[in-house]
Amino acid sequence: MFHKTLRFLEHLLRKYLKFALLSLLAALILWGLGRSLDWTEVRHALRQTDWRLIMAATAIVCFTYLLRAYRWRAFLAPLAPTSLRNLFAATTVGFGSIFLLGRTGEVVRPAFLPLRDRRVPASAAFVTIAVERIYDMAAIVLLFSANLLLFSPQGADQMAYARVRQAGFILLLGAVLGIAGLVWFSIRSQSIIRWIDKRLARGSSTMLRRTGSFVTMMLEQWARALNVLVDARELVVTASWTVALWGSIVVADWLVLRAFGLPFGIGQTVFVMGWGLVGSLVPTPGGAAGAFHAATAAGLIFLGVPREQAAAVSIIMHLVVFAPALFFGLYYFFRSDIKVSRLRRLAEVSPTENTGTPSKLTSQAEDEAFAER
């Protein structure tokens, strides 16, 4: 009993200490960004904003949650049926959690869906979210790299821009190789799974057999989810949703830039968006607060935008990109009557975590989802 209590306390300390450190990091970045600014000029830039364009951008961002729900349904089609309403609810709850907690809130979205719809196994929800991340990463890299080929900023440091372009090409090569590897796995998945199952099944220990069962089950889920890469029809459907999604995000960001009177086109918008996306990878609470602002402002300053105006743009763009999901997410969360404790336990025992016995993780997660119903 003492050891269990000690492990529980260690888990709480580690979790909350991590959150506190990330919050401190966000505060330090924001302090570093803001201490050298003339806030009178920042407020002036905010007052000069065309709020009609900001509202239009916000409406488009809200529409992207619906596009994500449609795409998620396409990913889930080979694994489990579910309704568009449940997918939209899980999407907004998940992105609302990211706004509040940072990247650690990403597990909420696939954990929430099985609690609303018992037809969806937890393992299927987590696997399809992983496939979605692959699509998004590939779309971002392709969009940013293609833009670097066509776009050349006027008045920027050409040597610095050459280094940015080189980094973009490296990311593009990595994305192409990664996608090729996934396609190869999808085609050869049955033989790969049989080979792994045969090797792990020889183990005499119960732990090894359970590990083998979990590994083969997850690989089978991956193979079925990755059929979208080798099935022509499913590839066209999911790729079309991805193009519509990221096209809408580009338009929303462009409207924000135009709202501040910046005469930027799509090329400059994608360039700035790329910087912001890099900043959003930092797992600070508040939707990558601090890191997103600093990265977006840096991209704008690189293009010759004054520091105070760049800071004002980064503040509004952060709210437009991350905040709308919070309103939908809170609505669906409280309407769903799902206990926070169950959602937290399902997220903590997700198949993507590396703690505990693997074979028990998935079954416990699915049991939690069904128990809620």
Lowest mean pLDDT among 18-22, 224-228, 354-358, 367-371: 354-358
Q: Which pLDDT tens digit goes with each residue over 57-99?
A: 999 999 999 999 999 999 998 888 899 999 999 999 999 888 8
State mean pLDDT over 205-213.
Answer: 67
Q: How far is residue 91's CA from residue 49's CA, in Å, rounded to a whole number?
A: 30
What is the SS3 assignment for 354?
coil
pLDDT grade for 359, boundaries at 50, 70 and 90 = very low
Read off the tokens for 269: 């918008």
> What pLDDT is stored for residue 182 in this prediction?
75
b/e burial code for range 63-74 (CB count within 10 A of at least 16 → b): bbbbbbbbbbbb
Question: How high is the pLDDT of residue 15?
Answer: 61
Task: Tell me the three state secondary structure of residue 120.
Answer: coil
Q: 304-328 burial by CB neighbour count: b if 16+ within 10 A, else e?
A: ebebbbbbbbbbbbbbbbbbbbbeb
pTM (two decimals): 0.77
DSSP conformation class of 323: S
* Residue 221 CB contacts under 8 Å (≥ 6 apart), including other chains: 79, 123, 124, 127
C-beta neighbour count of 287 within 10 angstroms: 26
Radius of gyration of the chain (CA): 22
Q: Give the pair of three-digit tokens for residue 341.
A: 């404790």
| 280 to 77, 179, 236, 327: CA distances (angstroms) | 29, 23, 28, 20
Contact (Cβ atoms closer than 8 angstroms) between residue 294 and residue 109: no
pLDDT of 39 > 70? The answer is yes
Neighbours of 159 (CB within 10 A): 7
